[in-house]
Chain A
Amino acid sequence: MSGLSISRRGLLAGISAVGASAALSACGAKTGDSTSTGSGAKADTSGDTVKVGLLNSLSGTMAISEVTVHNALLLAVKEINAAGGVLGKKLKPISQDGASDWPTFAEKAEALITDEKVVATFGCWTSASRKAVKPVFERYKSLLFYPVQYEGLEESPYIFYIGATTNQQIVPALDYLKKQGLTKLYLVGSDYVFPRTANKIIKAYAKANGMEVVGEDYAPLGSTEFGTITNKVKDAGADAVFNTLNGDSNVAFFKEYKSAGLTAKSLPVLSVSIAEEEVKSIGTQYLEDQLTAWNYYETTPGAANTKFVAAYQAAYGKDKPTSDPMEAAYISVYLWKEMVEKAGSFDVAKVKAASDGIELDAPEGKVTVDGATQHVYKTARIGKVGSDGLITEVWNSGKPIKPDPYLKGYSWASGLS
């Protein structure tokens, strides 16, 4: 060591210090001033434009999914402006990058509300990010429209949940698996709130419905090492894998899954966070014939969807697919517009009061806002990934399902929340 000696301990301390400060700098979170009294957001509606916030991860492990949601939001804003805006005012979209980092989400949410004075915010994907921004929106009494399916067990007065709650996605998916005779499940998920809560619900359902959970594993968000988990799945004697992995980890998981010789035929995977965009970036050859559970697919029939897909592809490219969270994001702006127009005001309290019963002929079919829970009636759809990367429906619930975020209508779910 040529005359210089570094003590290993000093060195490791140094490296971990840099690592720690990297972590700190990555989430230089302002811990919200807990003493501030909820003064309410002072949304600025004085000019002839109003600002709306778009809060998505445009970088990091979640960008694979969230960038498309951001695009769909921009498309809706553009269309609404072209049609004359909301209450005669044009919308000005303000984009903020949550960077796949939950404290950053909280920071940017606050910036949107206090600095930009937006009238409403649209975005977030992971439940971790939603949980991080929830207190911010509640403190400032500002509205967030959340476009992604999630684990339920939540009703914030300042969030509208436009994606599915568990009884509109996970429960129907379990019903479907049960009908197919696939009763031994292996649960694989990312290590944060959505997969863990979803799996708690799945285990309760399994116990009550004669199904068996033969294994359960969580990988850190962004993890790319699935060798062991795949081996465990193989050895557990499962009939199907219930996959709640989020973001890029799916790429590594399905690559490993295929390498291990597991196929949709021998051991199907039902995923709840993989939509058309992810299929494309994971690679169709890894996903063919695997199952998904959503409320919308690009292939869903209907005039509203034909129009949406055409508009999206005209704006972002012929080869760009549309997906459930994108569709939910797109209609969330329209639903908000309907609420504002019914209320005749951008005022949050009035908008909330006007929300119940708002209907829309959405690309996914008819949706209705349930004012009591601030969720949406949605049709559940199970789909299969085709060789072209699109997902075709193999089953649907026939009619929109009433949202039940706390699963009050299911006896087996008592004691979950």
Chain B
Amino acid sequence: MTVILNQSFTGISIGAVLLLIALGLTLTFGQMGVINMAHGEFIMAGAYTTYVLQKSISSAGVSLLVALPVAFLVAGAMGVLLEWLLIRRLYVRPLDTLLVTWGVSLMLQQLARDIFGAPNVQTTAPDLLTGNISLGGGITFANSRLFILGLALLSVLALTVILRFTPLGRRIRAVVQNRDLAEVSGIATGQVDRLTFFIGSGLAGVAGVALTLVGPIGPTMGTNYIVDAFLVVVVGGIGRLKGSVITAFALGVLQSVLEYSTTVSVAKVMVLVAIVAFLQWRPQGLYTLRTRSLA
């Protein structure tokens, strides 16, 4: 029982990390069809933001809380810039965005190396987050993981509220479902695109803040996560928030359960095989968006 509970928690916490890094992608890739390979570098930007703030604010706890909105703005601004400079010219050529943004991701990695140096850096977690909640009987929930879980759920909630209940959300959904019709209805699609990109990239920044609690911060940290993030979005069904949430937790739990009974590498392989098999069965992913367009 202890094992099952501890492992479930580990799985859910892996899922929370997956969810955080994939959330921004569900917007930019899922809703806009942009394959942004630089998404991982926005995560990195968020992580380095935390690092910089911790250097200037002495208290680890305060700097972490300040880092969340600041990282959102920093990564979001980078996203808007990328969209405005390059991506808006490529909406009709989705596979080209893959190559362009990959180039951008390499440039951003080098930029991080030039600014912060090549060796990875660390932040100190606030004392509160280094402990755990013990339920007795060897069952422990790490505080840092609980924090990441809370952050992931809050981000999902915020995103849901924005998409469902705000005028901006309605405009985003309209553009996603039928860009031409939205355009002739008087929606400034370019502006909506930029805002969507801002939110999606900003969420990557928030994920970066969370990742500082897990491991080191380095120029290439984003590349470690980018493939996983795309997997979550693709398996979840493109453009479906619900799909991403369920997939992230399912993959996290699957990974941790398999890992417990085998080894890290074997578990990773089995998860990938499971994903491939699943996509054979449901190529459109877990959930699909039904529209009346023929595409």
Known: A8-B284, A224-B214, A248-B216. A15 touches B132 (CB 8 A): no
Q: Does A83 reach chain B (CB closer than 8 Å)?
A: no
- Verify if B161 is at the interface (C-beta below 8 Å from A): no
A-facing residues in B270-295 (Cβ within 8 Å): 279, 283-285, 289, 291, 293, 295
How far, in whole Å, are A234 and B33 apart by their CA atoms in the complex? Answer: 44
B255-283 with Cβ < 8 A to chain A: 256, 259-260, 263-265, 279, 283
Answer whether residue B155 sits at the interface, using C-beta atoms and an 8 A cutoff.
Answer: no
Cβ of A342 within 8 Å of any chain B Cβ, yes or no, is: no
Chain A, interface residues (CB within 8 Å), range = 35 or more
Q: How far is the CB of A95 from chain B (nearest CB, A)?
A: 12
Smallest CB gap from A258: residue in B: B130
Find residues 210-232 in chain A having any chain B CB closer than 8 Å to their own CB: 217-220, 222-225, 227-229, 231-232
- Measured in the bound complex, the distance between the Cα atoms of B215 and A223 in whole Å is 9
> Quick check: is B198 within 8 A (CB to CB) of the other chain?
no
CB neighbours (8 Å) of B211 from chain A are 224
* A285 and chain B: residue at smallest CB distance: B130
Total A-B pairs, Cβ < 8 A: 171
Size of the B side of the interface (Cβ < 8 Å), in residues, is 70
Which residue of chain A has the shortest Cβ distance to B285 in the bound complex? A8
Interface on chain A toward B: helix, strand, loop, or mixed SS?
helix
Q: State which residues 180-202 of A face B: CB under 8 Å.
A: 191
B7 touches A252 (CB 8 A): no
Contacts of B283 in A (CB 8 A): 7-9
Q: Which residues of B contact A283 (CB under 8 A)?
A: 122, 124
6 pairs, A vs B, C-beta closer than 8 Å: A1-B239, A8-B285, A12-B230, A14-B95, A191-B264, A259-B142
Apart from the given pairs A1-B289, A224-B215, A228-B259, 14 other A-B contacts in the complex at a CB distance below 8 Å: A1-B238, A5-B295, A7-B283, A8-B238, A12-B279, A59-B113, A59-B118, A60-B220, A225-B14, A227-B13, A228-B256, A248-B120, A259-B145, A282-B122
Pairs of residues from A and B, 8 with the lowest C-beta to C-beta distance, nearest first: A224-B215, A59-B118, A259-B142, A227-B10, A63-B119, A2-B179, A252-B215, A228-B259
| B residues at A contact (CB < 8 Å) | 2-3, 6-7, 10, 13-14, 33, 35, 37, 91-92, 94-95, 98-99, 102, 113, 118-122, 124-125, 130-132, 134, 138, 140, 142-145, 175-180, 211, 213-216, 218-220, 223-224, 227, 230, 234, 238-239, 256, 259-260, 263-265, 279, 283-285, 289, 291, 293, 295
